Structure 1
Amino acid sequence: MTLKATPSVPPPPPAAMNSLHSSLFLSVPPLSSTHRKPGAASESCLLHSSARQRLLSRRDSGAAHSRGWLWGNRLLLGPSSDAVFSCTARASRGYQPGPLPAGEDDGLLRRQSVLEFLTSERVKVVAMLALALALCNADRVVMSVAIVPMSAANGWTKSFAGVVQSSFLWGYLFSPLIGGALVDYYGGKLVMAWGVTLWSLATFLTPWAAETSLWALLAVRALLGVAEGVALPSMNNMVSRWFPQTERSGAVGLAMAGFSLGSAIGLLISPVIMSKAGIFGPFVIFGLFGFLWVLAWVSAMSDSPSTHPQITKYELEYILNKSPKRPMLHKEKDAKVSGMLPPFRRLLSRMPTWALMSANAMHSWGFFVNLSWMPIYFNMIYRVDLRQAAWFSALPWAVMAVLGYSAGVISDMLIRSGLTVTFTRKLMQTIGFVGPGVAILGLNASRSPFVASAWLTVAVGLSSFSHSGFLVNIQEIAPQYTGVLHGLSNTAGTLAAIMGTVGAGLFVERMGSFRGFLLLTSLLYFISSIFWNIFASAEPVDFDKTS
């Protein structure tokens, strides 16, 4: 067989063609040393599906068998098998490091091995982000456990306990918006470092504040909210720089898995520590862990791949070539996209922004109601003790971590398989709203703590699909305003969380039951799903253009 040359793509050398057709498996020997990327002696390039199609289209009629073999194995290996077929296309033209020429198919970049990916710098970044978010949520949830003995010791009513719980949200109300602007200007590394430092300090000082006065306790909890408000904008900022679009759902899913595990860890460990070190023991321990995290983060992380001293040339090129929609990614100060105030009016004039804000509001309502009230719910409705209530409440968060990461992987696979990003985001968010809405109806009808825990697990677990819905969508519609847009949506979410957390306490105190409040929450989930599917979009929005 022969391959007809074209002016734009010179044919591979005869040796490569002989190797290409010499066996049923189309195996190709490693590239010669003259075409290898420095530092990657045994690397080979992979042929993207579109390039493979160009190759197949130029064969004579006898190529049908080879074409059938290729596509048969693609069906066997799945949609990701586009990159498992070796080639020498780039080698035959003389591979040179650096961004691909304009119009070049970036699929010709070979896929990293599993070991290379697991040891890459971007995986280290998302691992540190996951650990930070785990600490973030653990520091929040400690009060959900401690509030039970604290209420008994101080004679607090359910409504006042709701006020203490919501004091965190007072500080959290506007800090994501301010933190988002800071993240867009200074970058995620610096802002996240200061955030973890301050919230760890607030957690560490909680025992002192509780022994001093009620106002001191409320102030420290508000400081915790102020500091933690920068966590998610910083995470989104770092992921948008370090990961190409086809990997972002998985990266956000992994980071948010740490967020969910933080809830489970806090709920499970806090009662044990309290039994050994008193009510305030967990606050001290989690605060100290936060300080250790800051030391590791500052010494090992960088704002962007181009400023990281240890990143490999291949990984840097891979991130740059796979992220064409963020042209400033390779610049050292790409966080400083503008010295002006963000265009809030134009941001709020687009319906995709309101879709994000409404989705965050509903997600936060359900999240904080579950986080704050479930230990009390099991203690009050089913008369289980504090440690048992913590176990019943912790299981859903562990499942949420697993399902959240799985949703991210599935989302990336759907996009790579050819589904539009907009459809994928709408699908993930629909599962994240309709699933919990149905599960809460089941929770409301439960008559035993085990059945209730099962329904709660389904509700919280499926809500993690939102991480591959609205949370990733923030990076897509406005990459230059990721932090600010996240702050806007988070402010809406915090307002909803305050209403839900305080409202649950007032509702239970007035009505003596959670059931009516759970019905309201389920209804809001269904309404939010409809609004999202009508107005959400993953297409980039030009917020700098006056409408």
Structure 2
Amino acid sequence: MAAITNSSTSHDLCSSTRKSIPSSCHSLASSPHLNFVSFRKTKLGFESKKLEWSRGRKEEWRKWSVKCTAEGIDGGMFVRRKSREEDGIVVVRSIPERYKVVSLLACVMCLCNADRVVMSVAIVPLAAKHGWSSSFLGIVQSSFLWGYIFSSVIGGALVDRYGGKRVLAWGVMLWSFATLLTPLAANHSTMALLAVRAFFGLAEGVALPSMSTLLSRWFPNTERATAFGISMAGFHIGNVIGLLITPIMLSTIGIFGPFLLFSSIGLLWAMTWTYRVTDDPLESNFISRSELRLIQAGKSASLKKSNKFPPLGLILSKLPSWAIIFANATNNWGYFVLLSWMPVYFKSVYNVNLKHAAWFSAVPWATMAISGYLAGTASDFLINAGYPTTFVRKLMQTIGFIGPAVALICLNYANTPTVAATLLTAALSLSSFSQAGFMLNIQDIAPQYAGILHGISNSAGTLAAIISTIGTGYFVQWLGSFQAFLTITACLYVLTTVFWNLFATGDQVL
């Protein structure tokens, strides 16, 4: 994700001002604004110059290069702070501020998903303790979605108006509080438990719109897909962490252990986030001038918070908006079918015990994190190579839907659990290419209203997840196998891909 620079431009600009160096370079070199600069070691041919010039000439050339890079012409993965000591200048490496922001976002997305998984695992001992029926387990599991389906739209509108920093910070604190209350509510009454889980979903609904908006402000267009891939990798790793840590803590500490752990982490994250991050890099006290210029130069337009709630009628009147909405719904349909029913699938079809079924359910999420990052990197590479944004978004989304469709069709013919696990892993891994498709396309077509559009599409996806999760159970009970529903899901992937390629665009329409 290193920043892309144009060394030839830097060389020409510096060459054109070479005559004025003696009078201006000294004053600029001593300016307090030169605290942060970035270097490329091989771009300007320093080594060949050193062989020709005297020691004094080399010092003058070095000062002149500091001026050029300090003006924001050059960039790199690391910025360097210049400080003086008795024997010369010492260069200290510093991580760019935008990478610290994306690291914090990846951590909170990991926590977001881990908090969901905790309940999926802890519900087993809770059900045994309180004597819950199988039908009530389904109600408890779905109660999270009751709040989540509404908060996505509301949260997206709040992000557009107030910015992602405050909305995400409040969301994390509220869902961490709900996580802490979950085992207490379960011991109190079933209604209290359902209310807390619905509140938990309500708080978590702001996470994705906030992340999407913040990344669009903190990263140039040429790095945005990779940054999104890193953030979503954290989201998928949250599944793995939740599935691995929760059973251990339940068996050693008890039912309160994992809930207390993850809620505490959430509150610590919120304190770090509030102190360190701003809605826009222009407001940050930690960013260097060269990095700020790099970010601004890589954006097609300036994004500002809107003082009014966005026009829903205008957003829904555009076919590219509906392409995103349908893509999100289809993506969540397939995602939650696999998430909710994989353990049952392995148990009923291949008679694999629940311990191994849980392992088959956990492994694909790790590979999904890797493939999502690779999809983002490939997307940025293609855009930097000159391919149109529309082409790249359509290509990534096509891979993200046609790949899982083929894998699910082949799954109907799998005859061993190993082959089935491989196909399911391939389906989830390829579906992560959608992150570089419809998810990034939200910022492409509606940068000013990205939060509300993300919320609308996420609500449609949540509704699809509820329908698919319940529908799978009815289909399996009705037909006695998973094949029919897997085939329906594959057909839905194909139909949405056709609609996407007809109406999606990488150009701004709102």
The normalised TM-score by structure 2 is: 0.83
1:401 aligns with 2:377: no
CA distance in 2, matches of 1:146, 1:274: 7
- Report the residue type matching 1:292 in the other structure: L
Question: Which residue matches 1:110?
Answer: 74
Mapping of residues 180-259 of structure 1, within 5 Å: 180-259=156-235
Question: Which residue matches 2:496?
Answer: 528
Contact 1:268 1:391 in 2 (8 A): no
Question: Which residue matches 2:34?
Answer: 38
CA distance in 1, matches of 2:440, 2:430: 16
CA distance in 1, matches of 2:444, 2:143: 32
Question: Which residue matches 1:291?
Answer: 267
Contact 1:46 1:109 in 2 (8 A): no
CA distance in 2, matches of 1:463, 1:447: 23
**Match 1:170 to one of 141, 146, 149:** 146
- Report the residue type matching 1:119 in the other structure: I
- Report the residue type matching 1:458 in the other structure: A
Question: Which residue matches 2:283?
Answer: 307
Give the 3 Å change call, closer, same or farther, for CA 42–262 of structure 1 in structure 2. closer
Q: State the Cα distance separating 1:371 from its structure 2 match.
A: 2.4
Contact 2:405 2:494 in 1 (8 A): yes
Answer with 340-349 or 277-286: which moved more. Answer: 277-286
How many equivalent pairs are there? 462
SS of aligned partner of 1:408 = helix
Q: Per-residue CA shift, 1:49-96, capped at 9, x if unaligned?
A: xxxxxxxxxxxxxxxxxxxxxxxxxxxxxxxxxxxxxxx9xx79x859
Question: Which residue matches 1:12?
Answer: 16
Gaps of 5+ in 2: 1-11, 45-60, 81-92
Contact 1:429 1:529 in 2 (8 A): yes
1:507 aligns with 2:483: no
Q: State the Cα distance separating 1:174 from its structure 2 match.
A: 1.5
Q: Per-residue CA shift, 1:304-361, capped at 9, x if unaligned?
A: 11111111111111111221312x4xxxxx32x22x3311001000000000100111
SS of aligned partner of 1:537 = coil
Mapping of residues 90-489 of structure 1, within 5 Å: 109-114=73-78, 119-151=95-127, 159-326=135-302, 328=303, 334-335=304-305, 337-338=306-307, 340-489=308-457
Give the 3 Å change call, closer, same or farther, for CA 206–480 of structure 1 in structure 2. same
CA distance in 2, matches of 1:44, 1:33: 21
SS of aligned partner of 1:354 = helix
Contact 1:203 1:283 in 2 (8 A): yes
Q: State the Cα distance separating 1:441 from its structure 2 match.
A: 2.2
Contact 1:161 1:505 in 2 (8 A): no
CA distance in 1, matches of 2:470, 2:39: 58
- Report the residue type matching 1:110 in the other structure: D
Contact 2:78 2:96 in 1 (8 A): no
Contact 1:165 1:501 in 2 (8 A): no
Q: State the Cα distance separating 1:289 from its structure 2 match.
A: 1.6
Give the 3 Å change call, closer, same or farther, for CA 315–10 of structure 1 in structure 2. closer
Q: State the Cα distance separating 1:35 from its structure 2 match.
A: 6.7
Q: State the Cα distance separating 1:411 from its structure 2 match.
A: 0.3
Contact 1:189 1:303 in 2 (8 A): yes
CA distance in 1, matches of 2:311, 2:421: 44
The normalised TM-score by structure 1 is: 0.78
- Report the residue type matching 1:300 in the other structure: R
CA distance in 2, matches of 1:42, 1:358: 43
Identity rate, percent: 52
Q: Per-residue CA shift, 1:231-261, capped at 9, x if unaligned?
A: 0000011101100111100010000000010
SS of aligned partner of 2:16 = coil
Q: State the Cα distance separating 1:397 from its structure 2 match.
A: 0.6
SS of aligned partner of 1:480 = coil
Question: Which residue matches 1:66?
Answer: none
Contact 1:35 1:95 in 2 (8 A): no
Gaps of 5+ in 1: 1-7, 17-30, 49-87, 99-107, 329-333
- Report the residue type matching 2:408 in the other structure: I
Question: Which residue matches 1:4?
Answer: none
Q: State the Cα distance separating 1:278 from its structure 2 match.
A: 3.5
Answer with 164-173 or 110-119: which moved more. Answer: 110-119
CA distance in 2, matches of 1:41, 1:304: 21
Q: State the Cα distance separating 1:527 from its structure 2 match.
A: 1.2
CA distance in 1, matches of 2:13, 2:286: 35
Q: State the Cα distance separating 1:479 from its structure 2 match.
A: 0.7
